[in-house]
């Protein structure tokens, strides 16, 4: 039996793309991007002079990304619902996007049920799935070509920017030479905006407290203000109270932990891609490999953010200290 010789055509495609990138990198010389922590303004004038009494509100380039993310999620939800309704009215077999989303949500629900138990899985799962899927979209959307590279040109001090060259119409490109122009991209990943990560962290921490109150009522506050043994056993009661205050500080610090973990990892990816691309210049294959690494990091960070939220919610449903001993004692008497 003759064995058919495999043609490594994929390698040739990669080689052709590398050569094309090398040639285009010589024609259109890449410009080192300006790395800015804060979101850039698309227009200099504020869209609201005094927004909610907090001061002027500017149109920054994370706002369009936020809108695109919401629209995409709503479109996916619409077609998923349409697919599932269609399968429900026919042979009950999900297909297409409905099958994909059902598989993803089933995996997430099983994770929630395994960590929080059957009783609280239905209450925790919507928070976990919503946060994880939204952060995943926020992380991966910035990998689309054109993000953070196409935008509005702003005039700066001479020597602090780059020269510009006309492409066609009103479209320009930047040149490596020093000049007076910088680009504020139309779209910037929202995961590299502290306003987004801090807001999402506050929502997650508040949701954890809500689940804790639903599970334990006002007894949940004994986790932070434990005064049950303050007068019976003063020394150990004081220790319990101090431990509760540490728990309160730890709970507040979760906001910083959530926000800066997501922001730091995603912003480091931008810096890494910019540095590698600037060092290699016309050699384009390694920056492309760094983008694949960014894809991996974006998925992992969304999973970590969602899993931490879910685990903290599961912990909030459990009793603390004397309450646990009282419940165990009651169960023993019942037996």
Write out pLDDT tens, residues 277-288.
666 665 556 666
The count of C-alpha atoms lying within 13 angstroms of the C-alpha of 75, restricted to the half-sphere facing its C-beta, is 7
Instruction: Say how far apart CA 270 and CA 266 lie, in whole Å.
Output: 7
Confidence of residue 323 (pLDDT cuts 50, 70, 90): very low
**Measured CA distances, 271 to 66, 134, 192, 274 (Å):** 21, 23, 11, 5
Confidence of residue 333 (pLDDT cuts 50, 70, 90): very low
Of 13-17, 53-57, 71-75, least confident by mean pLDDT is 13-17
Higher pLDDT, 255 or 291: 255
pLDDT in tens, 197-247: 999 999 999 999 998 888 888 887 877 777 776 667 666 677 777 877 888
- CA 235 to chain centroid, in Å, comes to 45
**Is the pLDDT score of 25 beyond 80?**
no
For the segment 185-191, the average pLDDT, to the nearest whole number, is: 86
For the segment 318-335, the average pLDDT, to the nearest whole number, is: 46
- Give the closest residue to 41 by CA, choosing from 262, 265, 193: 193
Token reading at 265: 């990892």
The alpha-carbon radius of gyration of the chain (Å, integer) is 26
User: How is residue 256 annotated by DSSP?
Assistant: H
Instruction: Say how far apart CA 283 and CA 295 lie, in whole Å.
Output: 20
pLDDT cut 90: percent of the chain above it: 11
Give the pLDDT score at 5: 60
For residues 304 and 266, the answer to whether their CB atoms sit within 8 Å is no
Instruction: Say how far apart CA 176 and CA 225 lie, in whole Å.
Output: 60
- Give the closest residue to 141 by CA, choosing from 34, 66, 199: 66
Strand partners, 282: none
Higher pLDDT, 146 or 171: 171
Give the pLDDT score at 330: 37
Q: What is the pTM of this model?
A: 0.79
Higher pLDDT, 23 or 193: 193
Give the pLDDT score at 325: 42
Confidence of residue 329 (pLDDT cuts 50, 70, 90): very low
Instruction: Say how far apart CA 112 and CA 125 lie, in whole Å.
Output: 6
Give the pLDDT score at 182: 82
DSSP symbols for 69-83: HHHHHHHHHHHHHHH
For residues 110 and 102, the answer to whether their CB atoms sit within 8 Å is no
Give the pLDDT score at 287: 65
Give the pLDDT score at 45: 81
Of 81-85, 86-90, 208-212, 279-283, least confident by mean pLDDT is 279-283
**Is the pLDDT score of 324 beyond 60?**
no
Q: What is the β-pairing status of strands 171-179 and 161-168?
A: antiparallel
For 225-232, the CB contacts below 8 A with 24+ separation are: 226/320, 226/321, 226/322, 228/321, 228/322, 229/322
């Amino acid at each position: 039996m003759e064995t058919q010789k495999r043609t490594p055509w994929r390698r040739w495609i990669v080689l052709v793309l590398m050569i094309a990138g090398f040639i285009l990198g010589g024609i259109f010389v890449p410009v080192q991007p300006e790395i800015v922590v804060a979101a850039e303004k698309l227009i200099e004038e504020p869209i609201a002079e005094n927004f909610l009494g907090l001061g002027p509100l500017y149109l920054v380039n994370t706002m369009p990304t936020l809108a695109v993310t919401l629209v995409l999620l709503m479109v996916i939800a619409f077609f998923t619902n349409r697919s599932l309704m269609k399968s429900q009215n026919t042979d009950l077999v999900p297909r297409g996007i409905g099958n994909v989303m059902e598989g993803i949500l089933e995996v997430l629900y099983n994770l929630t049920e395994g960590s929080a138990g059957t009783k609280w899985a239905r209450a925790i799962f919507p928070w976990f799935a919503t946060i994880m899927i939204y952060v995943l979209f926020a992380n991966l959307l910035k990998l689309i070509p054109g993000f953070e590279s196409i935008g509005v040109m702003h005039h700066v001090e001479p020597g602090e920017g780059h020269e510009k060259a006309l492409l066609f119409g009103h479209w320009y490109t930047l040149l490596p030479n020093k000049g007076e122009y910088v680009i504020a991209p139309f779209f910037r990943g929202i995961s590299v905006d502290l306003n987004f990560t801090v807001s999402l962290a506050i929502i997650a921490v508040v949701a954890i407290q809500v689940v804790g109150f639903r599970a334990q009522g006002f007894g949940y506050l004994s986790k932070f203000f434990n005064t049950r043994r303050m007068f019976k056993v003063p020394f150990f009661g004081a220790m319990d109270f101090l431990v509760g205050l540490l728990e309160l500080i730890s709970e507040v610090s979760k906001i910083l932990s959530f926000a800066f973990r997501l922001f730091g990892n995603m912003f480091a990816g931008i810096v890494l891609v910019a540095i590698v691309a600037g060092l290699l210049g016309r050699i384009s294959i390694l920056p492309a490999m760094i983008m694949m690494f960014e894809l991996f990091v974006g998925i992992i960070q969304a999973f970590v953010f969602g899993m931490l939220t879910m685990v903290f919610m599961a912990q909030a449903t459990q009793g603390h200290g004397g309450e646990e001993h009282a419940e165990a004692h009651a169960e023993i008497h019942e037996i």
